[in-house]
Amino acid sequence: MSETLASPLPAVDRTLRLKQYYALTKPRVVQLIVFCAVIGMLLAVPGLPDWPLALAATAGIWLVAGAAAAINCVVEQHIDAKMARTAWRPTAKGQLTNFQTITFSTVLCAIGSAVLYFWVNPLTMWLTFATFVGYAIVYTVLLKPATPQNIVIGGASGAMPPVLGWAAIRGDVGAEALILCLIIFLWTPPHFWALALYRAEDYRKAGLPMLPVTHGAAFTQLHVFLYTLVLFAATLLPFISGMSGVIYLVGAVALGVGFTGYAWKLWRNYSDALARKTFRFSIWHLMLLFAALLVDHYLGPLL
């Protein structure tokens, strides 16, 4: 690391450099995080939330999430360089030094935390910072290289966005927010294991103990299916608890049947192409599930 810190990189075009810094924040991942946080904000109150408050919370959460992603890029740069899926990242290619990346992450985290503390509320700031530590340190540094259950345990930090959004608007953590957190927590393993199945060789080369590497493909396929069953049950909790109505129930059942169907086929007749489809569907599953919650929240009372 000392050599990386000491050796400045060649001068590059300013626009290219900005793109490299932006890539450190893992925009697609952060967009999903922010989307789930915004859903938490919108569900926290009967009507529309206080928009200045919601915008400040969205900005703060985005900045801290981007900071955590940048730290992940630093810690995993040598692993990323060995994997086709991540070899393009600026840290893996040596386009940004560790010092530049850590400084960038620190600035993002500091600004985001300040926005949340002063313009939202201290509870949201501390919960968001705890999520930063959970992802950037507990998951990335401690769990990911140590156990095939890294995704299961580390999924707790990834499941927090709706709680952050809820806390930003309400100033507390309600049972409804925890239900949303549970859904994402249970969604995370089948989502990532579907990816790990067709990227198993990459993980093996990188030395990461992902489930397909340590326990084999068949074991992982079975667990993807079992988790989708548990997830399906959990997605019914908003309706059972009275948090949502029939509109959401119809969407949850349709999406649950779809995800479980993909997982069943993945278990019984595996192919890399099917694993890719399952992974892509899992992303749509979560987005549409939360969108159904939102539609039900606003249109349900009118029916």
Domain range list for the chain: 1-173, 174-303
Give tens-digit pLDDT for 119-130.
Answer: 999 999 999 999
- Pairwise pLDDT comparison (10 vs 221), residue with the higher score: 221
One-letter amino acid of 79 = I
Query: Please, what is the end-to-end C-alpha distance for the chain in angstroms?
Result: 61
Tell me the CB-side half-sphere exposure of residue 285, using CA atoms within 13 A: 29
pLDDT at res. 12: 59
The model's confidence at residue 84, banded by pLDDT at 50, 70 and 90, is confident
Short-list 252, 259, 253, 260, CA closest to 295:
252
Give tens-digit pLDDT for 4-35.
Answer: 444 455 555 788 888 989 999 999 889 989 99
Asked if the model's pLDDT at residue 154 lies above 80, the reply is: no
pLDDT at res. 185: 94
Nearest 5°: phi and psi at 160? Answer: -80, -20
Distance from C-alpha of 128 to C-alpha of 111, rounded to nearest angstrom:
13
Give me the percent of the chain exceeding a pLDDT of 90. Answer: 68
pLDDT at res. 8: 52
Instruction: State mean pLDDT over 176-203.
Output: 93
- Pairwise pLDDT comparison (26 vs 88), residue with the higher score: 26
- Count of CB atoms situated within 10 Å of the CB of 247: 19
Give tens-digit pLDDT for 234-289.
Answer: 999 999 999 999 999 999 999 999 999 999 999 999 999 999 999 999 999 999 99
The pTM of this model reads 0.88
pLDDT at res. 5: 46
Distance from C-alpha of 158 to C-alpha of 56, rounded to nearest angstrom:
21
Distance from C-alpha of 42 to C-alpha of 30, rounded to nearest angstrom:
18
pLDDT at res. 271: 95
Distance from C-alpha of 67 to C-alpha of 111, rounded to nearest angstrom:
10
Distance from C-alpha of 135 to C-alpha of 277, rounded to nearest angstrom:
26
CATH no., domain 1-173: 1.10.357.140
pLDDT at res. 228: 97
Contact (CB, 8 A) for 136 and 71: yes
Asked if the model's pLDDT at residue 3 lies above 60, the reply is: no
